[in-house]
Amino acid sequence: MPSQAEIRRDYSTSRLSLRAQLVQAARLVWERLRHSPTGYDRASVAGFVDQLVPLVREGQAQEVSLAVAMLRELSLLLTGAPTPDVDLSGLEGRQGGVSLDEVYARPFVWLWTDLKHGKSFEVALDNAADRLGKSVEADLQLASRNAANAVIDADRRVIGFKRVLSERPNHCPLCVVASTNRYRKGGLLPIHPGCGCGVEPVYAEGDWDDDLNRQVAHAYAEAIRNQQIAVLDHGEYGPYLVAS
């Protein structure tokens, strides 16, 4: 059986690969509109949404599967028993009843707004593409977080959870600081745009320490020395991590 560090590394690597592939696919769909008869006019919105939303939903389903598999492996390793079965339906949506159809019509609004404010077409197009990528990342992160939360909440053995940084070398200082916090059951992991943090269960008080997080926090001690964080309630994302 793989070690906890190996489970963590494999999970993070798979997630980051999935995220990069889906963001690239979304940007390609957006870029191809440049060569369509209707371009970035209103007539293109419905077709863009119809093409992109199924891709995002498939990516979310893969995120859920990865999270559930990772938590099961950890449970088997640390306790000798699997995680409980849970209903994983309905975990993909944003709060407030905001649909993916609404979310992925927004790049057009961002583009039109930038053009209205005098930005060049190329700049406006790139800005919309960047924000589109962040939306895709956020929806994948939400699906992963919500799935992990459902599994952890259903497991009576778990007393809380910890935030685990991704494998990428440029961890956000917000995440590094937040990784030193302790999270009890019943809450959701605070996220932010581009967040790739994972969640691991804590089965006993002595499990709170995390060598990986301590190493990363030490490496970024200078960068985060004066970093303060706050958690806001975002209307669509829920708990939302910001600098304060």
Mean pLDDT of 96-120: 94
CA 122 to chain centre: 28
pTM comes to 0.84
Query: Is it the case that residue 216 has pLDDT exceeding 60?
Result: no
pLDDT over 80 at 232, yes or no: no
Residue range 137-161, pLDDT digits in tens = 999 998 998 899 899 999 999 988 8
Q: What pLDDT is attached to residue 34?
A: 94
* pLDDT at res. 126: 96
Q: Note the pLDDT of residue 219.
A: 46
pLDDT the model gives residue 26: 97
CA distance 111 to 122: 10
**Each residue's pLDDT tens digit, 39-90:** 999 999 999 999 999 999 999 999 999 999 999 999 999 999 999 999 888 7
Spatial neighbors of 84 by CB under 8 A, at least 6 apart, are 151, 154, 155
Tell me which of 166 and 236 has the higher pLDDT. 166
Rounded Cα gap, residues 132 and 29, in angstroms: 11
Distance CA 88, CA 141 (A): 15
- Single-letter residue type at 119: K
Joined tokens for residue 119: 């930005």
Q: What integer is the mean pLDDT of 165-184?
A: 71
- Give me the mean pLDDT over the 90-119 stretch: 89
Report helix, strand or coil for 194. coil
What is the pLDDT averaged over residues 175-190?
A: 75
Q: What is each CA distance from 179 to 80, 153, 171, 214, in whole angstroms? A: 26, 20, 11, 9
Greater confidence, 122 or 174? Answer: 122
pLDDT at 65: 95
What does the DSSP 8-state code read for residue 143? H
Buried b (16+ CB within 10 A) or exposed e, 139-171: bbbbbbbbbbbbbbeebeebbbbbbbbbbeeeb
More confident residue, 138 or 192: 138
Q: Chain-wide mean pLDDT for the chain?
A: 84
The answer to whether 114 and 34 have CB atoms below 8 angstroms apart is no
| % residues pLDDT > 70 (the chain) | 80
Nearest alpha carbon to residue 173 among 233, 219, 234: 219
Where is average pLDDT lowest: 7-16, 80-89, 93-102? 93-102
d(CA 193, CA 72): 27
Residue 53 near residue 101, CB atoms below 8 Å? yes
